[in-house]
Amino acid sequence: MRTLPTFWSFRRCPYAMRARLAIQSSKQQVVLREIVLRDKPTPFLEASAKGTVPVLQLPDRVIDESRDIMIWALTQNDPENWLDMPSEGMDLITTCEGPFKQALDHTKYAVRYPDLDEAEQREKAMGFLRDLNTRLAENAYLMGDQIRLADMAILPFVRQFANTDRAWFDAQGLGPLTRWLDEFLTSDRFSTIITKYPPWQDGQDRVLFPQT
C-alpha cells in the first residue's frame, strides 16, 4: 500500500472545499479524513495546533492554509492550467479571504456581532460581489474564458454568502455572477467534492480522494 498525504477536511467548510477542488483537479490522491468540528480527533489536533480545516500532512511537513494546499496540489500537476493567471487573480483571492469573508461572517453570524449593523456588513460584501459581477459580464470566468485558480478559490465563499438568503441573493440583479455560481453548483466537479463521508475513526479503512 503506497504512502499518501493525509488530508483532514470538513465537507461544508469553504476553505476545505476549495482545497478539495484543487486536489481533485490535480489528480493527486490523498487519504481523506472527514472530521466533525465539534468533536475534533486527537491526531488532527496533533497535526495542526490551529485546529482548523483543511490540513494536509506530507511526509516532511504540514500545510494548514487552504490556499497553500491548493498551490501545492497544482504545483504537482495542473492539467487545467489553473495557475496560469495574472497576479490580479491572487489579489482577488486575498480580498475574498479578507474583507469579503469578514463581511460574510458578520452577515451570516450577525447574532454574534451585536455591535455591528447587519445590513451595512452585507453591503460591504456586496461591493466585492459587484466587482466580480462586472468581470463576469465580460468573460465566462474571472480571469477570462477559462477556469483559473481565482474562480475555484472564491466560488465556495460566494456559495456560502448566497446560501445565507438565496431568494434575496437572486433578487440583487447579479446575473453574470449568479450564472457563474449556478454553473459551479450544478457541475460534476462540485457534486464530487461535496460527497458526504462518515467522520474518520481510528482503525477504519482509508478513504482515497479523488477516487479513480
103-149: per-residue pLDDT in tens? 999 999 999 999 999 999 999 999 999 999 999 999 999 999 999 99
Cell numbers at 41, concatenated: 480527533
Q: Are residues 21 and 51 in the same domain?
A: yes
The predicted-structure confidence for 25-35, as pLDDT tens digits, reads as follows 999 999 999 99
Q: Are residues 203 and 137 in the same domain?
A: no
Residue 36 forms beta bridges with which residues?
Answer: 39
What is the mean predicted confidence (pLDDT) over 61-83? Answer: 98
The H-or-E segment that residue 179 falls in is helix 175-185
Instruction: Give the domain CATH number at 30.
Output: 3.40.30.10
Prior bond to 54 cis, omega within 30?
yes
User: Using the 8-state DSSP alphabet, how is residue 210 labeled?
Assistant: S
Prior bond to 14 cis, omega within 30?
no
Cell numbers at 180, concatenated: 457563474
Cell numbers at 77, concatenated: 500537476
Q: What is the dihedral of CA 163, 167, 172, 178, to 10 degrees?
A: 60
Q: Total domain count for the chain?
A: 2
**For the chain, what percent of residues have pLDDT higher than 90?**
96
Q: Which residue has the cell 461591493?
A: 127
Instruction: Give the domain CATH number at 105.
Output: 1.20.1050.10
The H-or-E segment that residue 83 falls in is none
Nearest to 159 by CA among 17, 2, 3: 17
Residues spanned by the domain of 144: 87-190
The predicted-structure confidence for 161-185, as pLDDT tens digits, reads as follows 999 999 999 999 999 999 999 999 9
Q: Are residues 93 and 182 in the same domain?
A: yes
Annotate 21-38 with three-state secondary structure. HHHHHHCCCEEEEECECC
Q: Are residues 72 and 124 in the same domain?
A: no
Judged against a pLDDT cut of 70, whether residue 8 lies above it is answered with: yes
Q: In whole angstroms, what is the distance from residue 103 CA to residue 110 CA?
A: 10
Residue 147 covered by a domain:
yes
The predicted-structure confidence for 192-202, as pLDDT tens digits, reads as follows 999 999 999 99
Cβ pair 18, 184 in contact under 8 A: no
* Range from 44-53, 88-97, 99-108 carrying the lowest mean pLDDT: 44-53
**For the chain, what percent of residues have pLDDT higher than 70?**
100
Q: In whole angstroms, what is the distance from residue 139 CA to residue 135 CA?
A: 6
Give the pLDDT confidence score for residue 1 in this predicted structure: 63
Q: 55-57 and 207-209 as β-strands: parallel, antiparallel, unpaired? A: unpaired
Q: Are residues 69 and 128 in the same domain?
A: no
Q: In whole angstroms, what is the distance from residue 6 CA to residue 47 CA?
A: 10
